[in-house]
Amino acid sequence: MKNPFKFGTLVDNQYFTDRIEELEQINRILNSPNHLILISPRRFGKSSLVKKAVTESKHPYISINMQQVTCIEDLASLLLKGVFRLHPWEKIKHLLANFRVMPTVSITPLGDNMEIGFQTASNISALLEDALSLVEKVSDEDNRIIVIFDEFQEFIEIEKDIDKKMRSIIQEQSKVNYIFLGSEESMMSDIFERKKSPFYHFGQLMRLKKIPYNDFHKYVNDRIKDVVTDNHDKLTEEILSFTSCHPYYTQQLAATIWDNAYYKKIKSEDLLTTSINQIIQSHDLDFERIWMSFNNTDKKIVRILSKEEKPYENKMLPTSTVYSSIRKMMKKGFLIKEDKYEVEDPFFRKWICERIP
Ligand SMILES: Nc1ncnc2c1ncn2[C@@H]1O[C@H](COP(=O)(O)OP(=O)(O)OP(=O)(O)O)[C@@H](O)[C@H]1O
Ligand SMILES: [Mg+2]
C-alpha cells in the first residue's frame, strides 16, 4: 500500500479534494475575455487549483514563477520559452525578426532544451512589449493562451513603474487570459485593490480559503481507515481540529499518521501525539531560529495567539503596536487571518505553547 496523502508539491487526481465551486468559477473566467487574480496565504493550494483548472480547460498555457524573475530580460526569456513550448520554433521564428532587442537563441543538438538570452536591454519597455505581444500574436481567439504569473507581487519589486508598463501593454490584448497568483495578501491587495494602482480591478479577484471541514473530513477519514481500524472518525476530527483544515498541514499530519500506523504499527490512541511530536522535533531548529528573529512585541503577540487569546484585548500592548506587529508578521507569513488572526503553522503554535513559558 502507498501513502495516500501528499504534501509539499502540487496535488492532483486522488490527492486533490473539493474546490468544486472554485474550479467552476475559474473555468467561467477562462472561457471569457477576463483575467483572474487569486490570493491566499502560502500553501493553501493556489498553484494546484490553477494547474487543475487550466489543464481541464484544455487551453494552451504558459506558467511563470515570478520568484525566478529578477529583470525584464528574465521575464522575456521565460515568455519566449513558453511560446516555443507551444509552437514549433520553425513556424514562428520569423516573428522574432521584429524584436527591437534581438534575442540570442541556442538549442541543444537534440532540440530538447533551449536557452534564450538578450543583450542587456537598453529599451526595457520595448522588450517587455515585444515579448508580451508575441504571446498575443500566436494566440488564437478560439483557443486562447493562458499566462499564469505565480507570486506576482515579486514582479512589482524589480523596477519602478514596471506595473504601469505591463498593464498598458496587456490591456490592449484580446486573445490572452492572465492569471495572477500571490501569497502576500497585503501586496496583492495593494496591486489589485488600491484605486491608484495600474492594476486596480484588472480582473476577477478570488480569495482562496482553507478546505471546508466536511469535505476534508471525508477525504482524510476515507484514507486513514485503511490503516486505523478503530476510532478513525475521532482521529480525523482531532487531526482537523489541530490543523484547522489548513490544506498543507492537514496532508502533512495525515501522511505522518498513516506511516506510523502502517509501517510502525503504533497504537491508534498514540498516533496523533506521536506524529505531532515527530513533526515538531524535525522542525525544532527552524522554529528556534524563527523565534529568535522576533522582537519582544512579536514574541508577545505570537504567544498570545498561540494560546488562542486575543492580542487586542491585552492591556499591556498599545493597539497601534499590536497592529503594526501583526501586519509585519502577516506579510512574512507567520500569521494568517481567516475568521480571526492565527499562527500559520500549527506545529510552530504547539512548539511555542510547550517551549515558551
Ligand atoms: N485541493 C486540495 N486537496 C488536498 N490537498 C491540497 C489541495 N490543495 C492543496 N493541498 C495541499 O497543500 C499543499 C500546497 O499546495 P500548493 O502548492 O498548490 O499551494 P500554494 O498555495 O500554491 O503554495 P505556495 O504558497 O507554497 O506556492 C499541497 O502539497 C497539498 O498537500
Ligand atoms: Mg504555489
Distance in angstroms (rounded) separating the CA atoms of residues 66 and 226: 41
DSSP H helices in the chain: 20-30, 46-57, 72-86, 89-92, 124-138, 153-156, 162-170, 185-193, 213-224, 232-243, 247-262, 268-282, 284-293, 296-306, 319-331, 346-355
Domain covering 19-207 assigned CATH 3.40.50.300 in the classification: yes
- Characterize the bridge pairing of strands 103-107 and 114-118: antiparallel
Nearest atom in ligand 1 to the alpha carbon of residue 48 is 18
Amino acid at 287: F
Amino acid at 38: L
| Grid cell digits, residue 163 | 506595473
CA of 39 to the centre of ligand 2 (A): 10
Q: What is the dihedral of CA 338, 340, 345, 350, to 10 degrees?
A: -150
Residue with the smallest CA separation from ligand 1 atom 6 is: 247
Give yes or no for a contact between 176 and 146, defined as CB atoms under 8 angstroms apart: yes
Distance in angstroms (rounded) separating the CA atoms of residues 75 and 19: 30
Does residue 314 surpass a pLDDT of 80?
A: no
Residue with the smallest CA separation from ligand 1 atom 12 is: 248
133 lines ligand 1 (CB under 6 A): no
Among 20-24, 252-256, 284-288, 310-314, the minimum mean pLDDT is found in: 310-314
pLDDT in tens, 72-105: 999 999 999 999 999 988 888 899 888 898 888 8
Most informative mutation of 248, 279, 344 for ligand 1 (most atoms within 8 A of CB): 248
250 lines ligand 1 (CB under 6 A): no
Residue with the smallest CA separation from ligand 1 atom 28 is: 7
Domain 284-355 class in CATH: mainly alpha
- Cβ neighbours of residue 201 closer than 8 Å, sequence gap 6 or more: 192, 193
Residue with the smallest CA separation from ligand 1 atom 31 is: 7
- Which of 342, 280, 344 has its CA nearest to residue 307? 342
Most informative mutation of 11, 187, 214, 218 for ligand 1 (most atoms within 8 A of CB): 11
| Residue 334: DSSP 8-state | S
pLDDT in tens, 134-173: 999 999 999 999 999 999 999 998 888 999 999 999 999 9
Residue with the smallest CA separation from ligand 1 atom 2 is: 16
210 lines ligand 1 (CB under 6 A): no
Q: What is the mean pLDDT of residues 315-341?
A: 90
| Grid cell digits, residue 130 | 515585444
pLDDT at 230: 87
Does residue 336 surpass a pLDDT of 70?
A: yes
Q: DSSP string covering 113-153, please?
A: -EEEEEPPPS-HHHHHHHHHHHHHHH-BTTB-EEEEEETTH
47 lines ligand 1 (CB under 6 A): yes
7 lines ligand 1 (CB under 6 A): yes
Give yes or no for a contact between 291 and 338, defined as CB atoms under 8 angstroms apart: no
pLDDT at 45: 97
pLDDT at 9: 95
CA of 269 to the centre of ligand 2 (A): 35
Distance in angstroms (rounded) separating the CA atoms of residues 219 and 223: 7
Sign of the C-alpha dihedral, residues 117, 123, 125, 130?
negative
| Residue 176: DSSP 8-state | E
- Reported as half-sphere exposure (CB side, CA atoms, 13 A), residue 125 has a value of 8
Boundaries of every domain in the chain: 19-207, 213-282, 284-355
Distance in angstroms (rounded) separating the CA atoms of residues 258 and 256: 5
| Residue 45: DSSP 8-state | S
